[in-house]
Amino acid sequence: MALYFLSDTHLGHRNLVEVFTVTRPDGVVHPARPFATVDEHDQAILQRYRDVVTEADTVWWLGDVCFKPTNAMVQAIAALPGTKHLILGNHDRETTTLYHQMGFVKLRSSWRPWKGVLITHIPAHPNSVPKGGVNVHGHTHSTCYDGPYVNVCVEQTDYRPLSEPDLRRRIEQATRHLSGGGLTPVFSTT
């Protein structure tokens, strides 16, 4: 049994694929997502999910699952393996019933899975992040913030769920940066 995290899949969001762009640090403007069509985008994300997640696994989806879900999209998400939980995002505006039909067993606004770790969709205000800890979030797509933030938007995870060990490494890098080289122990069982 493994634990995975992902955010901002935006399945069915045509503009994210075909219209929106981002300016990379090199100053060059690129498509927001590197797919020719929204169907190619959706199929790639769903396949990359299936490539890593098994029925025995648990996935925390940090919001913005899809846009204007069709019956086919609801069924495709429901058919994805694993136990799925949803941290509601700013674009998750459907009924609770529909998210349950997609296979989400829990819906939350935030979650604190380990000491010092706050999981949200939108990055939390620094005063809301546990002292010495981090905020694992989505929402910002290609933008990563310094400080106590770990972005798990699919743009940051090769469009696939991020494993718990990989997330822990990213959290440790963020806490090492915050503490000036000394590692703050954010994974405590107490």
pLDDT in tens, the chain (190 residues): 999 999 999 999 999 888 888 887 788 888 889 999 999 999 999 999 999 999 999 999 999 999 999 999 999 999 999 999 999 999 999 999 999 999 999 999 999 999 999 999 999 999 999 988 999 999 999 889 988 999 999 999 999 999 999 999 999 988 876 655 433 334 433 3
Q: Which residues contact 8 (CB under 8 A, 6 or more apart)?
A: 62, 63, 64, 89, 138, 139, 141, 153, 154, 155
Pairing outcome for strands 29-31 and 21-23: antiparallel
Beta strand pairing call for 21-23 and 58-61: unpaired
Burial of 117 (0-12, 13-18, 19+ CB in 10 A): buried
Q: H or E element: which one contains 87?
A: strand 83-87
User: What are the backbone dihedrals phi and psi of residue 117, each rounded to the nearest 5 degrees, phi first?
Assistant: -120, 125
Tell me the CATH architecture of domain 3-178.
4-Layer Sandwich (3.60)
Helices (H), the chain: 14-18, 38-52, 71-78, 96-101, 164-178
Please name the residue that has the structure tokens 């459907």. Answer: 94
Q: Which of 8, 50, 16 is nearest to 34 (CA)?
A: 16
Structure tokens at 132: 């010495």
**pLDDT score for 132:** 87
Ranges of each domain in the chain: 3-178
Encoding tokens for residue 1?
């049994």
pTM for the full predicted model:
0.90
What pLDDT score does 183 carry? 35
Q: Is residue 187 classed as helix, strand or coil in its secondary structure?
A: coil
